[in-house]
Amino acid sequence: MARIVKAPEERRAEIVETADRLFREVGYAKCSVEMIIREIGVAKGTFYYYFKSKPDILEAIVEKTLGQIVEMAKDVANDPALTAMQKMEALLGSSHIGDEDSLEVAEMLHLPENRELHELTNIQTVLQLSPILAEIVEQGIGEGVFEVEKPLETIQFLFTGAQFLTDGDMFGFSEAELRARRLVMQAIIEKALGAEPGSFQFMNPIRAVQ
Amino acid sequence: MARIVKAPEERRAEIVETADRLFREVGYAKCSVEMIIREIGVAKGTFYYYFKSKPDILEAIVEKTLGQIVEMAKDVANDPALTAMQKMEALLGSSHIGDEDSLEVAEMLHLPENRELHELTNIQTVLQLSPILAEIVEQGIGEGVFEVEKPLETIQFLFTGAQFLTDGDMFGFSEAELRARRLVMQAIIEKALGAEPGSFQFMNPIRAVQ
Amino acid sequence: MARIVKAPEERRAEIVETADRLFREVGYAKCSVEMIIREIGVAKGTFYYYFKSKPDILEAIVEKTLGQIVEMAKDVANDPALTAMQKMEALLGSSHIGDEDSLEVAEMLHLPENRELHELTNIQTVLQLSPILAEIVEQGIGEGVFEVEKPLETIQFLFTGAQFLTDGDMFGFSEAELRARRLVMQAIIEKALGAEPGSFQFMNPIRAVQ
Amino acid sequence: MARIVKAPEERRAEIVETADRLFREVGYAKCSVEMIIREIGVAKGTFYYYFKSKPDILEAIVEKTLGQIVEMAKDVANDPALTAMQKMEALLGSSHIGDEDSLEVAEMLHLPENRELHELTNIQTVLQLSPILAEIVEQGIGEGVFEVEKPLETIQFLFTGAQFLTDGDMFGFSEAELRARRLVMQAIIEKALGAEPGSFQFMNPIRAVQ
DNA sequence: GATGAATGAGAATTCATTCAT
DNA sequence: TATGAATGAATTCTCATTCAT
């Protein structure tokens, strides 16, 4: 096959992205290295030139994904101009704000993922994001909008429930069922954080059915 | 090897139980059919006489496990002598009541499981158990101990959070961390169900540190 | 491919023999499992049903070969009717005596072998055969035909020299060169063992050029 | 990486030396070209600029090694001031004479080598060195210290036995076992060459145990 | 019902070698 | 001279499944 030379970072990114997509589409275990390289049009050796094993690229994907999520969350959390509630909305709201191509946390987490990626990314997401969210909750306590004793543990529980219940299609819920669950989630979160009922309405915006 | 003839149901049950145990011990993907039959001392053909494929026996295991859990939950739920709170305690409490070898729901769900079984059983557990628990919540509303609008969805959210956060060692929490999370879980559940603070204390019994 | 079922020992022996031959023909490293199974006409899985790895079958081959050699040597050594000199002749002589299909030690050792098999079999042959030969030398000392102080070490040295110098075609000697070396070998062995000059003439029989 | 230009002979020698060392350390087959170039800090292409293949560099190494050995042996053999016995001692003696960093033949041959290098170098060593040694034996016959009919073949046999029996750790002998074998070797060599008993004592110098 | 030898389609990984720059 | 990204054939090994007995 014709040899096409690319800048290493470019080639590496190309492989990561393709693998990421295929892993999510067909699952990590069922997606062979063969599939990945055929999709890109490179040789087996090229794959192994950049990644020393299949688990190795999985790690790279998780790191990349988490990096993006955490970075965005930190940007929001550290913005001194925002109230705790505004930060919550920015991170958990389901409506797009600002520029188009920025993926939101909520959206990122709702990709149809498979088990391995699920476990690795979702769990890591909960673990890495909850301290950031907990800090926002602390800010909110200071601002008098939240009232809760153990912000970190509370956030972790709520996050986990939200993550796994509405993520992917693990549960096979219909759109209507998902909506109902999101509404309830909102109420539980408000109660758990001691927030005003309705203050997390941004999680369930009224909008036209997609 | 000597041919040992057994009653079909017995042989089938033997295979299911062994596979169940091995799947949980070493994981579904990593447990080969070979391992299962060697453990029992039976031939390959015998396995395929009873189950048409490996996924097939996985399904059988999940069905069996769920059946046991759901049956027990229904027994409790349908006991006319118990209050809603007592039923909750019976199903979610972490202390043993009654005979020794009966596995509780809470206990069953906390076995170190692997991904495949996890996904299949945990999710199915949430889906099948939540209507039963929701009914108990309705009973509790009638008895004035709970106050919540959407029992089913609320239960599902809480159940999911509890399930995934404290199950297995997905998150790698230490014992102390798990205890902290269980305490918070109790508070959130009470708030979400509109129950008296401390009424779900049975989830966190004071006991000697192991 | 048509499934041909054979008795396990038969199939196993078939694989060992084919592998043995191919390893010697093309070398252990260069002979792939694929080559072996294609030669026999069985599936890959069949090979791995009988041998857990490629090194595993190598071991089996060496064991088989050594077993045959050592067994024959022991039979000769333990024959009470033979003198030490006759035993030496039986084991080291290059002319066929008796039944046709019995491979002699000398002949067995002169097969064109490759490195791995060479190292493993030749060395093991020296180590396992030298005590047997040393015992014969002791018998010879008693009979007054040998005179040497350290039979075992002496035998090992002589055996090693003989083994590696005239074995296979490591050195690329011509037939004439080999003959010359064998003659000298005879003289050295006689001197080293303190035997009568010419007593090991059986190693170099006068015969028509092949 | 920064491109470091070196004089061709220097670069070539650098690669040969590194490959030589690594081949001996990890074995020819197990030492990849990658390992060699990483060790030097040079690119793949550079390796293939100097050597057309991996077997090619192996050949270069053997030639280099043999060259050194043969050259030294010739220097000794052609020294008109030395007796045959002194030459034997110079070449086969196990004690250091002269300057420190000069490797002796005996020492060179006892490096822990691997199969490929072993076969190629040891055999070639025997073949190239034996005529030189044979010439010394002829000189010794003239001087009345040796008495043997076929010097070349005799030397070849003795050399081969010595080489393979005590080389590397093919046989896995202990230090004590090796000492016993070297003593016997001395006796056999003396007998085979018709030399005075004890005249080859230099092969087994009495020295403090290490 | 039961056996276990046999199947074969993959899977991951290695590495000597090439070639555009 | 030198670089290093790219190649791809080859290799070992796995394991769910089949089928002759």
| Set of chain B residues whose Cβ sits within 8 Å of the Cβ of A123 | 170-171
Comparing every residue's Cα with the C1' atom of nucleotide E4, the nearest one is B43
Is B11 near chain A, with CB under 8 Å?
A: no
Protein CA at C36 to nucleotide C1' at F10, angstroms: 15
| Reported confidence tier of residue C14, pLDDT bands at 50, 70, 90 | very high
| Reported confidence tier of residue B23, pLDDT bands at 50, 70, 90 | confident
Is A65 near chain B, with CB under 8 Å?
A: no
| Reported confidence tier of residue C161, pLDDT bands at 50, 70, 90 | confident
Protein CA at C119 to nucleotide C1' at E8, angstroms: 35
Q: Is residue D35 within 8 Å of residue D22, measured between CB atoms?
A: yes
Checking if the pLDDT of C77 tops 50, the result is: yes
| Among the listed residues A100, A91, A110, A117, the one whose alpha carbon sits nearest the alpha carbon of residue A168 | A110
Measure CB to CB from residue B157 to each of A149, A153, A184 and give the nearest one. A184
- Which residue in chain A has the smallest CA separation from B159? A161
Checking if the pLDDT of A84 tops 80, the result is: yes
pLDDT, averaged across chain B: 83
Best B114, B150, B156 member to test A by mutation, with max A CBs in 10 Å, is B156
Chains contacting A with at least 3 CB pairs below 8 Å? B
Rounded to whole angstroms, the Cα distance separating B47 from B60 reads: 13
Checking if the pLDDT of B185 tops 60, the result is: yes
Which pLDDT score is estimated for B118? 66
Best D123, D128, D184 member to test C by mutation, with max C CBs in 10 Å, is D184
User: Residue written as tokens 């991170």?
Assistant: A91
Instruction: Determine the average pLDDT of the residues in D176-187.
Output: 90
pLDDT, averaged across chain C: 84
Q: pLDDT digits over B69-87, tens only?
A: 899 999 999 999 999 999 9
Instruction: Determine the average pLDDT of the residues in C46-50.
Output: 96
How close does chain A come to B129, measured CA to CA in Å?
13
User: Residue written as tokens 């063969």?
Assistant: A34
Of residues D167 and C5, the one with the higher pLDDT is C5
Which pLDDT score is estimated for B6? 79
| Reported confidence tier of residue A16, pLDDT bands at 50, 70, 90 | very high
The residues, any chain, with a CB within 8 Å of residue D195's CB and separated by 6 or more, are D140, D145, D146, D147, D189
Is A164 near chain B, with CB under 8 Å?
A: yes
The residues, any chain, with a CB within 8 Å of residue B208's CB and separated by 6 or more, are none
How close does chain B come to A1, measured CA to CA in Å?
35
Which pLDDT score is estimated for C186? 94
Instruction: Determine the average pLDDT of the residues in C153-163.
Output: 89
Checking if the pLDDT of C113 tops 60, the result is: no
Instruction: Determine the average pLDDT of the residues in C137-155.
Output: 96
Of residues C123 and D200, the one with the higher pLDDT is D200
Rounded to whole angstroms, the Cα distance separating C173 from B4 reads: 63
| Reported confidence tier of residue A209, pLDDT bands at 50, 70, 90 | very low
What whole-number percentage of chain C has pLDDT above 90? 55
Best C117, C147, C164 member to test D by mutation, with max D CBs in 10 Å, is C164
Q: Which of residues 125-154 of B touch A (CB under 8 A)?
A: 126-127, 149-150, 153-154
Comparing every residue's Cα with the C1' atom of nucleotide F1, the nearest one is D5
Q: Is residue B146 within 8 Å of residue B195, measured between CB atoms?
A: yes
pLDDT-wise least confident of A119-123, B187-191, C199-203: A119-123
Which pLDDT score is estimated for B105? 44
| Among the listed residues C177, C197, C180, C174, the one whose alpha carbon sits nearest the alpha carbon of residue D150 | C180
Measure CB to CB from residue A119 to each of B115, B157, B188 and give the nearest one. B115
pLDDT-wise least confident of A58-62, A125-129, A206-210: A206-210
What whole-number percentage of chain D has pLDDT above 90? 49
Checking if the pLDDT of A109 tops 50, the result is: no
Which pLDDT score is estimated for B125? 82
Which pLDDT score is estimated for A111? 34
Checking if the pLDDT of B107 tops 50, the result is: no
pLDDT-wise least confident of B115-129, D122-136, D141-155: B115-129
Which pLDDT score is estimated for C184? 93
Rounded to whole angstroms, the Cα distance separating A40 from C88 reads: 69
B11 touches strand E (CB under 7 A): yes
How close does chain A come to B158, measured CA to CA in Å?
7
C48 touches strand E (CB under 7 A): yes
Which pLDDT score is estimated for D112? 37
| Reported confidence tier of residue B100, pLDDT bands at 50, 70, 90 | very low
Q: pLDDT digits over C80-107, tens only?
A: 999 999 999 998 875 433 333 334 444 4
Number of residues that this document lists for chain D:
210
Which pLDDT score is estimated for B146? 97
Rounded to whole angstroms, the Cα distance separating B159 from B165 reads: 10
Long-range Cβ contacts of D145-149 (<8 Å, 24+ apart): D145/D83, D145/D84, D145/D85, D145/D195, D145/D196, D145/D199, D146/D84, D146/D193, D146/D194, D146/D195, D147/D193, D147/D194, D147/D195, D148/D192, D148/D193, D148/D194, D149/C187
Q: Is residue D24 within 8 Å of residue D117, measured between CB atoms?
A: yes
